[in-house]
Structure 1
Amino acid sequence: MSIQSSLASPPAPKSQKTILDRWLEEQTADDQEVIRSTLKNPEWRHVDLLEALVKEGMPEVADTTFGVWRKRMGYTK
């Protein structure tokens, strides 16, 4: 392959959306509202909420990954 053809097209931009962001977007508007509200609720421990959401079809991720995502979604302790 020539350098001209290799550099003809830049790579596609990286998506800032995680697998969890994409999963959330696939939910109904009502479910998204409930999930977002629950993510911010400090009465839910990360591991318990992660387990509950995985049972509802959310992709399984490490609890630390879930915790980071949850904080990005507005959780504060």
Structure 2
Amino acid sequence: MPTNIAYRSNKKTKCTLPSSFWKFLVHNVKELEVLLMCNRSYCAEIAHNVSSKNHKATVERAAKKMNRQLMCMSYLG
């Protein structure tokens, strides 16, 4: 018998963020363009191994086109 059955989360909302968005890992600007079609349910997260040049270009592109916050997990702003 499972002992922690009360701690399970709902399967439909298991991988969502508290803001009810799904994370999408982005490595370059081309992958960010995919989110333009479905930006109501997904938010972008920049991968940690992206170069500073690509990171800056991705942030600038997201600021222009997307109405969504860009979740940056690196120290660059």
Work out whether the TM-score is over 0.5. no
More strand by share: 2
Ranked by relative contact order (alpha carbons within 8 Å, sequence separation 6 or more), the top structure is 1
Task: Name which one, 1 or 2, has greater alpha-carbon Rg.
Answer: 1
